[in-house]
Structure 1
Amino acid sequence: MNNQTLILIHCQDAVGLVANIAQVVAKHQLNIVTMREFVDEENRKFFLRIVCSGVPAEVAGLQQDLVTHLPPQAIVAINPSRQKKLVVLVTKEHHCLADILVRHFFQTLNANVEAVIGNYETLKEFTEKFDIPYHFVSHENKDKETFEQELAEKIIPYQPDYIVLAKFMRILSPSFVARFQNKLINIHHSFLPAFIGANPYRQAHKRGVKIIGATAHFVTNDLDEGPIIVQRTKSINHSYDVPNLVVAGKEIEKAVLSHAIQLLTEDRVMLHGNKTVVFE
């Protein structure tokens, strides 16, 4: 997007918003290439993502001009950082991390993996094969507060845009979540809200389900109930035992997490309370 301008707008809905915005964009000699909008009619909220050809002479001037033509307290972002910085948290499972690191290596992730942090050393050697720093922060023989403080001390120097929980099997405290609000992304191995918590595939097998799935979502204080970014399912049948479900589930998990990261790094996700507006 070297010769393009990305504009993100979130504000109260009002008559004539699109026309006003289009006029401002034209005034700054920009041509609209794509425009995606969504109106939450119940709450009268307006969301817009515009890609324009051309670069404004003054970004600050364009932003101020847009704000002037929008309802009070409008949020306007122009050209958010395109190369997002990620820190990945892991425990022992490798499949999601492996997918992320391979995409990072071949520069198809649209983000830079700054570091991987694990509460076991299981994935250290694998991570370092990609010349990415690995930090081991053990949770053993520590209270949650101490562990999370040590974790935060490793994360903060990298100033990540997002912290990806790639099968990081620790429940985070409200204070930790608040510290990194709207930055924590989790992959959950079930089609939420069904089968939350531990052992969802065993839960699914006992229930005799005919689909399994995975959910990528923002982390909040409510376990596995944060705003959903991406969900995907796979049809199964009675012949799937628990190991078969786990194998199928891992394939879905890494695909869903990868898709969520792509949407986030392309600035296609806008938070709206406990929901998201996703401009595919």
Structure 2
Amino acid sequence: MRTYRLVIACPDRVGIVAKVSNFLALYNGWINEASHHSDVQSGWFFMRHEIRAESLPFGIEAFREAFAPIADEFSMIWRVTDSAQKKRVVLMASRESHCLADLLHRWHTDELDCDIPCVISNHDDLRSMVEWHGIPFFHVPVDPKDKQPAFAEVSRLVEEHAADVVVLARYMQILPPQLCQQYAEKVINIHHSFLPSFVGAKPYHQAALRGVKLIGATCHYVTEELDAGPIIEQDVVRVSHADSIEDMVRFGRDVEKMVLARGLRHHLEDRVLVHGNKTVVFD
């Protein structure tokens, strides 16, 4: 069913829900799903509505025009999207295949409602798997001594393929600040630890040395600060003293795949609202 997704964040006050509901009722809008959250600490209000597109007498551009005065009145940060317009997802990976393979499978079986115009990698190892799915694969090697040309090419490819979101599916390079700023809240990463614990390289090794009883994975938006962006999704699995680092890596891969897929789905369905360095996720 085709829907419009109305997503709103604004300073909290009386009358927000009533105003939005009255607007939709005025045009006979049929609400399929409604989610609200009032953050007492920040004083902000968050809302997500899914409205049946066929119930409204106008298209999405007219919706935006009609709703704009209400948005101005309540100082809203808002957007409305059309579920019929699939988001374009550029995937990036290095050598490890588990996250990339999982996302490609979910896309292939229509579990992820998106288009994947290309995959970019700093190694050539995963080309055959990607091209089997009929998706263009771009090998962009990264010279450790001069990474700028590689990331300039990555930026060109992302722009050329009109990406709505970039997913780092175990892409083991740190994006430069310019890319992080250019695509703020549009780059999703999977980090193989339960952040903020064990930031950086080899988190399973760090976890084993610390003797933790839980390991996990974190899906987050990428910012200039390493592994510190707004968190979209997390999960954990229990481990014990008997588990080796290799066991932890094996357990962790399963969690990484699940967490990344859930986080990406939340983003594709416009369920994530970023406020500061936190998120509201209407799942």
Q: TM-score, normalised by structure 1?
A: 0.95
**What is the CA distance between 1:60 and its match in structure 2?**
4.1
* Matching residue of 2:81: 79
Q: Which runs of 4+ in 1 moved over 6 A?
A: none
1:222-233 mapped onto 2 (5 Å cutoff):
222-233=225-236
Contact 2:189 2:219 in 1 (8 A): yes
* Matching residue of 1:57: 57
CA distance in 2, matches of 1:230, 1:247: 20
CA distance in 2, matches of 1:222, 1:194: 15
CA distance in 1, matches of 2:264, 2:26: 34
1:101-120 mapped onto 2 (5 Å cutoff):
101-120=104-123
- How big is each residue's C-alpha offset from its partner over 1:220-251, in whole Å with a ceiling of 9 and x where there is no partner? 01100000000000011111100000000000
Equivalent residue of 1:217, what SS? strand
Contact 1:63 1:78 in 2 (8 A): yes
**What is the CA distance between 1:200 and its match in structure 2?**
0.5
CA distance in 2, matches of 1:234, 1:15: 42
1:123-272 mapped onto 2 (5 Å cutoff):
123-140=126-143, 143-272=146-275
Contact 1:214 1:232 in 2 (8 A): yes
* Matching residue of 2:103: 100
Q: TM-score, normalised by structure 2?
A: 0.94
Contact 1:270 1:278 in 2 (8 A): yes
Equivalent residue of 2:178, what SS? helix
**What is the CA distance between 1:143 and its match in structure 2?**
0.9
Q: More deviation in 52-61 or 96-105? A: 52-61
- How big is each residue's C-alpha offset from its partner over 1:57-102, in whole Å with a ceiling of 9 and x where there is no partner? 2244443443323434323322345411110111100000000111
* Matching residue of 1:35: 34
- How big is each residue's C-alpha offset from its partner over 1:27-54, in whole Å with a ceiling of 9 and x where there is no partner? 0111223210112223222211112234
Equivalent residue of 1:88, what SS? strand
CA distance in 1, matches of 2:81, 2:139: 35
* Matching residue of 1:67: 68
CA distance in 2, matches of 1:8, 1:55: 18
Contact 1:67 1:74 in 2 (8 A): no
Equivalent residue of 1:108, what SS? coil
Q: Structure 1: which amino acid aligns with 2:77?
A: I
Contact 1:39 1:46 in 2 (8 A): yes
**Structure 1, unaligned stretches of length 5 or more?**
none
Q: Structure 1: which amino acid aligns with 2:55?
A: V
- How big is each residue's C-alpha offset from its partner over 1:142-167, in whole Å with a ceiling of 9 and x where there is no partner? 51222210111222111111100000
* Matching residue of 2:43: 44
CA distance in 2, matches of 1:264, 1:72: 25
Contact 1:67 1:76 in 2 (8 A): no
Q: Structure 1: which amino acid aligns with 2:64?
A: Q
Equivalent residue of 2:118, what SS? strand
- How big is each residue's C-alpha offset from its partner over 1:108-156, in whole Å with a ceiling of 9 and x where there is no partner? 1111111110001011111111110000001126512222101112221
Q: Structure 2: which amino acid aligns with 1:102?
A: H
Q: Structure 2: which amino acid aligns with 1:67?
A: A
CA distance in 2, matches of 1:133, 1:84: 17
Identity across matched positions, percent: 36
Give aligned pairs, total: 279
